[in-house]
Chain A
Amino acid sequence: MHIPDGYLSPQTSAVFTVSMLPLWWQSARQVRKVVKSRYVPLLALGAAFSFVIMMFNVPIPDGTTAHAVGGALIAILLGPWAAGIAVSIALLIQALFFGDGGVLAFPVNAFNMAVLLPFVAYGVYRLLAGNAALTSPRRVWSAAVGAYAGLNAAALATAIEFGVQPDLFHKADGTPLYSPFHLSQSIPAMMLPHLLIAGLVEAAVTAGVLTYLQRANVPVLRINAPNVALTPAEVARRPVSPVRVGMVTLGILALISPLGLLAPGGAFGEDAPEDLDLARYHLSAVPTGLQKYTDFWGNALLPGYGDGSPWQYVVSAIIGMAAIAVVAGALVWLLRRVRGGEAGAADIDGGSGVDTPPVKEGSGSPA
């Protein structure tokens, strides 16, 4: 997922540099406030950990490699801002010392893997985990799903950044100056290995470490969740909220749908996926599923979506996501009204923190 120098126009890098500067600044501020100097080594450890995880390139059938990032785990343990710092640093060391990822492309890589990934992962995790106890299995699978979503979001962003280059930057005769691949090629090429392998690795690493910590080192879990109940017994009084589950399903759908919209278009066969010889591109496995989305969106919302230029797909993807958001919002609002008890339950939630004070080293009774 590391973009080297030379693949992106300096203009793209400049845009990302300008947008990353306030993000880094904000993360430094946030971390200083939340994480404190005591966790500086832990952050450094997170960076090193992420570095090592990124080195475990998983081989994928088409000859390249995909890898996990570890950003989801750091986001869950120390918060997404801290994860931003840790992964940025891992990426910087890789760019400077190992030529893995470019120096000019560093802000772009950092945006994908150090901002998008942790925030998506953390958001999904928080939604799914609700107020489950810190040691409950639900935390683990929520984290796994979050990690999966986060990594794929990052991969998708990378693919888009690649894919817009040939349309934006080319010579007069059409020779691409930077990455030569269009969205329709870059997205399936990136997403396949990440959906099938790297996402699962990220999920497995996150779940594995979390399970370990639940057994071996609960205080670490509490750094970023000081007020959450520790054992299932402490939260027993509350059922899983169907609102949350519904919202999350929709959220995941929204994440996947642009993929479905984009993948079979463009050079792969214009608007008619039927006459595609996908096997030639080693893509035969996925499109059956994607086809359904294509059909659904194609027929239901934006018939034919334009003349097939990648931009139209992006636009339709954005409209599709907006539509989902509206539907989801309406659904949530409706369910809230129907159930009515949510607000009260949330209060109990907040109260559960009272009987488990935040732990600091040295408190509590001797064993």
Chain B
Amino acid sequence: MTEPVLACSDLRYAYLERFAALDGVSLSVAPGETVALLGANGCGKSTLLKVLDGLIFPDSGEFHAFGEQVLEDKLEDEQFNKGFRGRVGFVFQNSDAQVFSPTVREEIAFGCLQLGLDRATTADRVDDVVSMLDIGELVDRAPYQLSGGQKKRVAIASVLVMNPEVLLFDEPTAALDPRTQFWLIELLHQLRTAGKTIVLASHDLDTLPELADRCLVFSEEHRVVADAPTGELLADHDLLLRVNLVHERSQLLRR
């Protein structure tokens, strides 16, 4: 097996030193793989994704990306920072937090400009992404004037424009209408076939088989209780019930 792109071992993290969010989590993602994180609300999916994006740093445990350990001090280093940020992209769960620029165009251009791409190339890339995501009529508006779903599209555009190798999606289909959800699943498919490594948090078990090769299931105690290929995992109804991912009356169990 090739060397994993992302590898963490025994991560522990608590917010404000009091509220545990990760309690001994290990994970390894191979290049080109798509991994889904599953678990009930508050089990720590978003927290893990933030660790994987080098935004928060575990209280204990190690996180390696592209074979190098990611540490707060190391990210202060210009070279390492640019390398890491350019190769890993993160679509936040809360798109309100993710769109902060005065206009949509500036928002989408932000990442490329930060990483040192020149204005002309950036502008071209922005135009490409804008037409790909069909948000042409939004580019001159202010992000805070957009609807939830439109914001999500802008957020996705602002990450895709940087063309990262690894994409982290936190509940990408939430807040989208059914048509846009399908469009997004389609997009994820394309990205997968293009060889991107994808880690996504999701609650949507129905679309999972098309989306992910492998699933990681969190318990409400913030630990990983299962790590298996998607098909295998979705068949394990007992497990899904135990971690409160499904309800006795859920559609999934009737099949």
Chain A directly contacts chain B within the complex, with at least one CB pair under 8 Å: yes
A365: interface (CB < 8 Å): yes
Q: Is the CB of B57 within 8 A of A361?
A: yes
> Which secondary structure characterizes the binding site on chain A?
loop
Q: Is the CB of A366 within 8 A of B14?
A: yes
A217: interface (CB < 8 Å): yes
- Complex alpha-carbon distance, A217 and B15, angstroms: 10
Per-residue CB contact flags for chain B residues 1-31 toward chain A (1 = under 8 Å, else 0) read: 0000000000011101111100100000000
- Complex alpha-carbon distance, A364 and B12, angstroms: 11
- Complex alpha-carbon distance, A219 and B60, angstroms: 19
The count of A-to-B residue pairs whose CB atoms sit within 8 angstroms is 31
Q: Is the CB of A362 within 8 A of B58?
A: yes
Q: How far is the CB of B44 from chain A (nearest CB, A)?
A: 12
Of all chain A residues, the one with the shortest Cβ separation from B58 is A362
- Residues 15-62 (chain B) with a chain A CB within 8 angstroms: 16-20, 23, 56-60
Chain A residues, Cβ within 8 Å of B56: 361-362
- Residues 51-84 (chain B) with a chain A CB within 8 angstroms: 56-60, 72
Per-residue CB contact flags for chain A residues 344-367 toward chain B (1 = under 8 Å, else 0) read: 000000000000000111111111
Chain B residues, Cβ within 8 Å of A225: none
Chain B residues, Cβ within 8 Å of A359: 17
Of all chain A residues, the one with the shortest Cβ separation from B18 is A367
Q: Is the CB of A367 within 8 A of B14?
A: yes
Of all chain B residues, the one with the shortest Cβ separation from A360 is B72
Chain A residues, Cβ within 8 Å of B57: 361-362
- Residues 313-367 (chain A) with a chain B CB within 8 angstroms: 359-367
Most buried by A among B14, B17, B19, B60: B17
Q: How far is the CB of A71 from chain B (nearest CB, A)?
A: 24
Chain B residues, Cβ within 8 Å of A218: 16
Chain A residues, Cβ within 8 Å of B59: 362-366
Chain A residues, Cβ within 8 Å of B72: 360, 362
Q: How far is the CB of B191 from chain A (nearest CB, A)?
A: 30
Of all chain A residues, the one with the shortest Cβ separation from B17 is A364
- Complex alpha-carbon distance, A92 and B136, angstroms: 32
Q: Is the CB of A367 within 8 A of B19?
A: yes
Most buried by A among B13, B19, B59, B60: B59
- Complex alpha-carbon distance, A362 and B59, angstroms: 5
Q: Is the CB of A366 within 8 A of B12?
A: yes
Chain B residues, Cβ within 8 Å of A361: 56-57
- Residues 14-30 (chain A) with a chain B CB within 8 angstroms: none
- Residues 89-114 (chain B) with a chain A CB within 8 angstroms: none
Q: How far is the CB of A102 from chain B (nearest CB, A)?
A: 24
Q: Is the CB of B16 within 8 A of A366?
A: no
Chain A residues, Cβ within 8 Å of B20: 366-367
Q: How far is the CB of A215 from chain B (nearest CB, A)?
A: 11
Of all chain A residues, the one with the shortest Cβ separation from B12 is A366
- Complex alpha-carbon distance, A365 and B58, angstroms: 10
- Complex alpha-carbon distance, A211 and B209, angstroms: 49
Most buried by B among A217, A218, A361: A361
Q: How far is the CB of A14 from chain B (nearest CB, A)?
A: 31
Chain A residues, Cβ within 8 Å of B60: 366
Measuring CB to CB, which residues of chain B are less than 8 angstroms from any residue of chain A? 12-14, 16-20, 23, 56-60, 72
Measuring CB to CB, which residues of chain A are less than 8 angstroms from any residue of chain B? 217-219, 359-367
The 3 closest A-B pairs by CB, nearest first: A362-B57, A364-B17, A366-B12
Other A-B pairs beyond A364-B14, A366-B59, 18, CB < 8 Å? A218-B16, A219-B16, A360-B72, A361-B56, A361-B57, A362-B13, A362-B56, A362-B57, A362-B59, A362-B72, A364-B17, A364-B59, A365-B59, A366-B12, A366-B13, A366-B60, A367-B19, A367-B20
List 21 A-B pairs, Cβ < 8 Å.
A359-B17, A360-B72, A361-B56, A361-B57, A362-B13, A362-B57, A362-B58, A362-B59, A362-B72, A364-B14, A364-B17, A364-B59, A365-B17, A366-B13, A366-B23, A366-B59, A366-B60, A367-B14, A367-B17, A367-B18, A367-B20
